[in-house]
């Protein structure tokens, strides 16, 4: 009988056993993909009132969970995996990794209950615990180049704390400031990692592609995001913020063009990353237009969250999972379907309301279904990959 989802294996039998906690990407990629697929039903339960009186409800829950739930899980999984190579020292595995994954799950559950203080503690504790776990090998190895990732995880913990303290009425600061700062931190992480891996993957996967990096463009692109982060933290609005976003958007568009994306059309595992990164300058330019009052700010936000985050996450989760389980770095039809579903979710959520503003509700519903299908397919496709040992017998 032919299996529903065939995973490419070598001629010899793959090692047996459970390896879900052998390396950081395994539990967190699986948890993030399942959670992304379940976000639509959970959102529906919120609207229906069947969840009772949860601590976080409505748009603040949706924003919080997409950032501090889904996105943060993928970032931690990636950093634990890449960090082991950067420091040449182990990152959490086994029971320590299982404990961190459990803390993430507990945090996701608590925000759906009335236990506000417990939810706040768990959601601040997770990024802090991940920061400490990453800092240990970096400090031992003297890996100064990547210390800033520890600081960024700490900043995400601070942003989460801002959201929860505002929600609890402890501070007279809008919780959405914490959400916006977290969005900027995530954007910076995407920009840094995109700049490191996309040109390299392009040149490795497409011989002769000629992807390059320019030092001045890199500084303008990354500096522009940091300037936006500072402006948002200070509450800057209007024309100055629009100007910052425009300059940053132009720099990121230029950066993307230097990577020669048009050479990747026959390599889905590469073009998926280029297509996703294009949403970064789109987000910045849409944000500038929103600050000028020409369109809804939510369109710029979803260009980042659905387009850039969703697209880069699905692209990196397939590539790194394949690479770190000993499989060929080539997307099959199931993975291409994941790329197209998530890319379609972004296009429907952002482009359709731009062209037909009256269709925003239908666009949001259609986008949510496409998003859930894309990440649900990933979870189904990659459950055996993430839970079983590497097919080449190596550790990890």
H-helix segments, 206-238? 215-233
- pLDDT averaged over every residue in the chain: 92
For residue range 97-127, list pLDDT tens digits in order. Answer: 999 999 999 999 999 999 999 999 999 999 9
Work out the pLDDT band at 35, boundaries 50, 70, 90. very high
Helix, strand, coil shares, percent, the chain, to 5: 75, 0, 25
Question: What does the DSSP assignment read for 87-141?
Answer: HTS----HHHHHHHHHHHHHHHHHTTSS-HHHHHHHHHHHHHHHHHHHHHHHHHH
Query: For position 14, what pLDDT does the model report?
Result: 52
What are the backbone dihedrals phi and psi of residue 393, each rounded to the nearest 5 degrees, phi first? Answer: 80, 0
Work out the pLDDT band at 43, boundaries 50, 70, 90. confident
Summarize the confidence of residues 192-202 as an average pLDDT: 96
Classify residue 55: in a domain, yes or no: yes
Closest of 375, 349, 382 to residue 363, by C-alpha: 349
Query: For position 45, what pLDDT does the model report?
Result: 74
Residue percentage of the chain with pLDDT more than 90: 84
For residue range 215-242, list pLDDT tens digits in order. Answer: 999 999 999 999 999 999 988 899 999 9
Work out the pLDDT band at 323, boundaries 50, 70, 90. very high
For residue range 338-362, list pLDDT tens digits in order. Answer: 999 999 999 999 999 999 999 998 9
Summarize the confidence of residues 128-133 as an average pLDDT: 98
Place of tokens 């770190």: 324
C-beta separation of 359 from 17 below 8 A: no
Judged against a pLDDT cut of 80, whether residue 13 lies above it is answered with no
Classify residue 278: in a domain, yes or no: no
Quote the DSSP letter at residue 10: -
Classify residue 38: in a domain, yes or no: yes
Classify residue 135: in a domain, yes or no: yes
Distance, in Å, from the CA atom of 114 to the CA atom of 57, rounded to the nearest integer, reads 10
Can you give the residue range of the structural domain that contains 136?
20-173
Classify residue 154: in a domain, yes or no: yes
Classify residue 5: in a domain, yes or no: no
Burial of 136 by CB count in 10 Å (0-12 exposed, 13-18 middle, 19+ buried)?
A: middle
Query: For position 195, what pLDDT does the model report?
Result: 96
Query: For position 5, what pLDDT does the model report?
Result: 42
Classify residue 103: in a domain, yes or no: yes
- CB environment 344-369: b (16+ within 10 A), e (fewer): bbbbbbbebbeeeeeebeebbebbbe
Structure tokens at 157: 């913990």
Summarize the confidence of residues 131-143 as an average pLDDT: 97
Query: For position 1, what pLDDT does the model report?
Result: 39
For residue range 51-92, list pLDDT tens digits in order. Answer: 777 888 788 999 999 999 999 999 999 999 999 999 999 999
For residue range 262-321, list pLDDT tens digits in order. Answer: 999 999 999 999 999 999 999 999 999 999 999 999 999 999 999 999 999 999 999 999
Classify residue 66: in a domain, yes or no: yes
Query: For position 47, what pLDDT does the model report?
Result: 62
Query: For position 285, what pLDDT does the model report?
Result: 98
For residue range 147-163, list pLDDT tens digits in order. Answer: 999 999 999 999 999 99
Domain count, the chain: 1
Summarize the confidence of residues 364-372 as an average pLDDT: 93
Query: For position 39, what pLDDT does the model report?
Result: 85
């Amino acid at each position: 009988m032919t299996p529903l989802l065939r995973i490419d294996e070598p001629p010899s039998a793959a090692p047996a056993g459970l390896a879900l906690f052998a390396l950081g990407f395994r539990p967190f990629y699986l948890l993030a993909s399942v959670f992304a697929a379940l976000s639509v039903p959970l959102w529906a339960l919120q609207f229906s009132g069947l969840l009772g009186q949860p601590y976080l409800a409505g748009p603040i829950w949706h924003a919080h969970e997409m950032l501090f739930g889904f996105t943060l899980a993928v970032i931690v999984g990636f950093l634990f995996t890449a960090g082991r190579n950067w420091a040449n020292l182990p990152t959490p595995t086994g029971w320590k990794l299982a404990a961190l994954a459990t803390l993430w799950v507990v945090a996701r559950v608590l925000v759906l209950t009335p236990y506000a203080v417990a939810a706040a503690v768990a959601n601040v504790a997770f990024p802090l615990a991940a920061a400490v776990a990453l800092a240990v090998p970096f400090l031992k190895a003297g890996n100064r180049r990547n210390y800033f990732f520890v600081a960024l995880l700490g900043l995400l913990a601070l942003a989460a704390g801002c959201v929860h303290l505002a929600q609890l009425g402890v501070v007279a600061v809008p919780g959405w400031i914490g959400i916006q700062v977290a969005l900027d931190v995530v954007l910076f992480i995407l920009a840094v990692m995109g700049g490191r891996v996309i040109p390299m993957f392009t040149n490795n996967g497409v011989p002769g592609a000629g992807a390059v990096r320019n030092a001045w463009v890199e500084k303008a692109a990354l500096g522009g995001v940091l300037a936006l982060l500072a402006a948002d933290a200070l509450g800057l609005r209007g024309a100055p913020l629009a100007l910052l976003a425009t300059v940053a958007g132009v720099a990121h568009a230029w950066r993307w063009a230097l990577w020669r994306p048009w050479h990747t059309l026959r390599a889905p595992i590469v073009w998926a990353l280029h297509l996703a990164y294009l949403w970064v300058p789109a987000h910045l330019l849409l944000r500038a237009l929103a600050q000028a009052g020409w369109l809804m700010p939510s369109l710029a936000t979803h260009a980042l969250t659905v387009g850039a985050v969703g697209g880069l996450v699905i692209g990196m989760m397939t590539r790194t999972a394949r690479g770190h389980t000993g499989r060929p770095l080539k997307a099959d039809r199931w993975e291409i379907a994941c790329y197209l579903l998530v890319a379609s979710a972004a296009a429907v959520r952002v482009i359709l309301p731009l062209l037909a503003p009256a269709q925003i509700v239908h666009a949001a519903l259609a986008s949510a279904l496409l998003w859930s299908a894309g990440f649900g397919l990933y979870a189904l496709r990659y459950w055996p990959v993430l839970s079983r040992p590497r097919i080449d017998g190596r550790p990890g």
